[in-house]
Amino acid sequence: MSWNHDGVSQADSMGIEYLDGLYSYALVLTRNHADAEDLVQETFVRALQAMGKLRAGSNMKGWLFTILRNIWFNQLRKLRNGPQMIEIEIGDGVSNSIAEPSKNSHDLYVSKMETQQVQAAIQELPMQFREIILLRDYEELSYQEIASILDCPAGTVMSRLWRARAKLRASLSATLKESNSSSVRGSQ
């Protein structure tokens, strides 16, 4: 392992703090935990190899997300038949209950159900909309950073995000109507 002049290892300065975000993005792309882990690992292997080419002051986060996305699309091109699509597991909400100890059990349950409904609705979106929601709303990347990662104009990013959110609203609205009508029937 090499060390820079400040005594920080190359791995520490390489964007390890983006690991969770990269894994989430890889999971959105692959919909498979093992494939997502492999994709993130390959991203860091390639980033380490290219570290000398990265200019000082470059956007490390955007660079890593771009590498990950490029690896994914290269893998898809090689497979031609596409990846096997499976459902991802939704978190158990333990972190929500720890982070919000003041909520009562009913509020925690409702919050967990709402989170699961939103995550399920996001998973139902086409990939171009899933990834744009993840990059903007979860990773909080700027429109310009997303445009760079997706290799498209910032205006395209904005319009895709608007359409993704509109589809998400429509899906969640339908889900809420279904759950409200079933709870009305159940109480009669």
Instruction: Give the DSSP per-residue string, 76-100.
Output: HHHHSS-PPP-PPPPP-SHHHHHH-
CATH of the domain at 119: 1.10.10.10
> Exposed (0-12), middle (13-18) or buried (19+): which is 43, by Cβ within 10 Å?
buried
Q: Does residue 131 sit in the same domain as residue 180?
A: yes
Average pLDDT of every residue of the chain: 78
Is residue 11 very low, low, confident or very high in pLDDT (cuts 50, 70, 90)?
Answer: very low
> Exposed (0-12), middle (13-18) or buried (19+): which is 106, by Cβ within 10 Å?
exposed
Domain with 19, as residue range(s), is 12-79
**CA–CA separation, 23 vs 115, rounded Å?**
19
Task: Say what the pLDDT of residue 80 is.
Answer: 61
Q: Does residue 146 sit in the same domain as residue 99?
A: yes
Mean pLDDT of 125-133: 90
Q: Comparing C-alpha atoms, which of 59, 57, 62, 71 is closest to residue 29?
A: 71
Is the pLDDT higher at 52 or at 158? 158
Q: Does residue 73 sit in the same domain as residue 118?
A: no
Residue type, 130: R
Final residue of a structural domain among 48, 79, 110: 79
Q: Would you say residue 2 has pLDDT above 50?
A: no
Task: Say what the pLDDT of residue 36 is.
Answer: 92
Q: Does residue 174 sit in the same domain as residue 108?
A: yes
What domain count does the chain have?
2
| Overall pTM surpassing 0.85 (yes/no) | no
